[in-house]
Structure 1
């Protein structure tokens, strides 16, 4: 079986999300922020997981909600893909804990690391398996607890990242034109240091000195990250639209990994669509700082509150560490 934009073979059958119960302010009141951090924190709260709450806990909750929405159970699944940069432990993959907590069969379950673009990378993998007829139902989850990777002294980074999980169930399309129309992905390893956790791997095993230097926490070059977002996100969105045989005017909604006022205006201008069609952080409940979970969280929120209706064409896009970036066009 093959898939094309006019006759998609795979579609999103259901979505779900899970957020920590209590939102917290992005930074202490006595910590004035500037630039992107001020914009991100204005009128927006980042949710922090409770003590003892793990990435697999949020991922499992989001997965259950997505399965319920799809009218399926855990034993209907044939693969679990978990996109995360903050798993429960370095080894094993956090996806196996989700498999265990869901009560799924002994199916392939693995983690995928592509930072904020992880959900889209996972969606691309699931789309290939389902479109080829190899698998019938694949669960894709984006989940992160980046509040535990942020240096608490780095208030600007704390303003940008929070905790949350979003999930989608990918299955066969019904032949009515709805489904995954295109996925377009890119990466640039030359920019790997723009968003990274340098310590804790084989390059920098943790030592007392590196722990003291906070090398195990998130490092963000915010000016370069913002510049990359401005340069790459809109262009990749247009590439995904072209692959789907669509023009920007054909879109009903745009969901980026974060949608502060600047990014909203930039995407709307590049795509020639109203800013009101860009869904994200400023909508309130969406956890735009939840890294790999952000896009799926916003998608689920908009589906459940009725903004996204059956047949709507939705553009999903994200850029994160790697650098990685990508877009997907889906007809819901």
Structure 2
């Protein structure tokens, strides 16, 4: 049974994105590892991805996306009350990437902190922003998702290096205005027992970076592809179903599905489960690959620019990531 939606408490006011200028195609990868364009395209839908240069960090990309979102919202850095940053690729372990972005933006009035939920980061972040606003702790939240995945990928591992790209997306979130627009529902879950299907074994506090870790290359992402695929499909379908029910809508009501951009087959399976036709599904995995938590905000920003997620559009966003984490939101733009 579809239940009535609760009134929105927070809304997405604006979005922004940053993509590094360097494009690396599947054909470029053929000279780096034993792979080929057809193999990558048929299994993932990816044809190219963007990679940041060595002098561009996660904070730089996040700040660039944030400036665009703030300009579109008509706010200054001083207006930001809370700066939330999702990243699996911090430039350094101390301080937080959020504090580094705060310094770059000059948002001196903001409380700033990082959170980690991998590819589900933007959707977890929407719930965090909504909670801060509902609690009266903030009027303006700046949510930034920034990932330099190229820095944690083993470029000799053809199973993972073909999948990922770099980039950043951002959104300004403020209280809803009572006009029906805003975050209508949110759903998020996790299962830490499956962590070792997609993780970085070394380089943290338990196994600090040393010669052994470097020799084993255990500071890079390791992934059990088939198992991750099955979990992703199952979990994204679960999240989509719950978010639609909590919003009091069905797939027929959705104007646009913006899924995490990891794999075209996962996207197709999720859309089919939610009964959303292909023409209502936003896909840019072919041009960017998997940018972890930056994937959905970059896709949403493109959808807004293209008029596919304009004012009043009902958008379903759904993601799955390392942890495992999964989440979905229904938003009236």
TM-score range for the pair, normalised by the shorter chain length: over 0.9
| Structure 2: 5+ residue stretches without partners | none
Q: How many residues align?
A: 327
In structure 1, how many angstroms separate the alpha carbons of the residues matched to 2:114 and 2:88? 9
In structure 1, how many angstroms separate the alpha carbons of the residues matched to 2:108 and 2:206? 36
Give 1:34 shift: 9.5
- Deviations, residues 3-36 of structure 1 (Å, cap 9, x unaligned): x944212100110000101211246224225998
**Alignment of structure 1 residues 161-176 onto 2, 5 Å:** 161-176=164-179
**Alignment of structure 1 residues 68-217 onto 2, 5 Å:** 68-217=71-220
Give 1:288 shift: 4.1
| Structure 1: 5+ residue stretches without partners | none
Q: Does 1:23 align with 2:23?
A: yes
Name the CA shift for 1:34/1:324 in 2 (closer, same or farther; >3 Å).
farther
**Alignment of structure 1 residues 265-276 onto 2, 5 Å:** 265-276=268-279
In structure 2, how many angstroms separate the alpha carbons of the residues matched to 1:89 and 1:135? 27
Q: TM-score, normalised by structure 2?
A: 0.93
Greater than 3 Å deviation, 4+ residue runs: 33-43
Give 1:41 shift: 5.7
RMSD: 1.8
Indicate the residue corresponding to 1:61 in structure 2: 64
In structure 1, how many angstroms separate the alpha carbons of the residues matched to 2:97 and 2:324? 23
- Deviations, residues 65-99 of structure 1 (Å, cap 9, x unaligned): 11111111111100101000001101110111100
Contact 2:86–2:146 (Cα < 8 Å) also in 1: yes
In structure 2, how many angstroms separate the alpha carbons of the residues matched to 1:67 and 1:56? 16
Indicate the residue corresponding to 1:45 in structure 2: 48
Q: TM-score, normalised by structure 1?
A: 0.94
In structure 2, how many angstroms separate the alpha carbons of the residues matched to 1:259 and 1:110? 26
Contact 1:259–1:280 (Cα < 8 Å) also in 2: no
Q: Does 1:254 align with 2:257?
A: yes
In structure 2, how many angstroms separate the alpha carbons of the residues matched to 1:40 and 1:52? 32
In structure 1, how many angstroms separate the alpha carbons of the residues matched to 2:175 and 2:251? 26
In structure 1, how many angstroms separate the alpha carbons of the residues matched to 2:241 and 2:37? 31
Indicate the residue corresponding to 1:244 in structure 2: 247
Larger deviation, residues 219-228 vs 25-34: 25-34
In structure 2, how many angstroms separate the alpha carbons of the residues matched to 1:288 and 1:176? 36
Contact 2:83–2:98 (Cα < 8 Å) also in 1: yes
Indicate the residue corresponding to 1:321 in structure 2: 322
Name the CA shift for 1:139/1:250 in 2 (closer, same or farther; >3 Å).
same
- Deviations, residues 246-270 of structure 1 (Å, cap 9, x unaligned): 1111101111111643223212210
Give 1:106 shift: 3.8
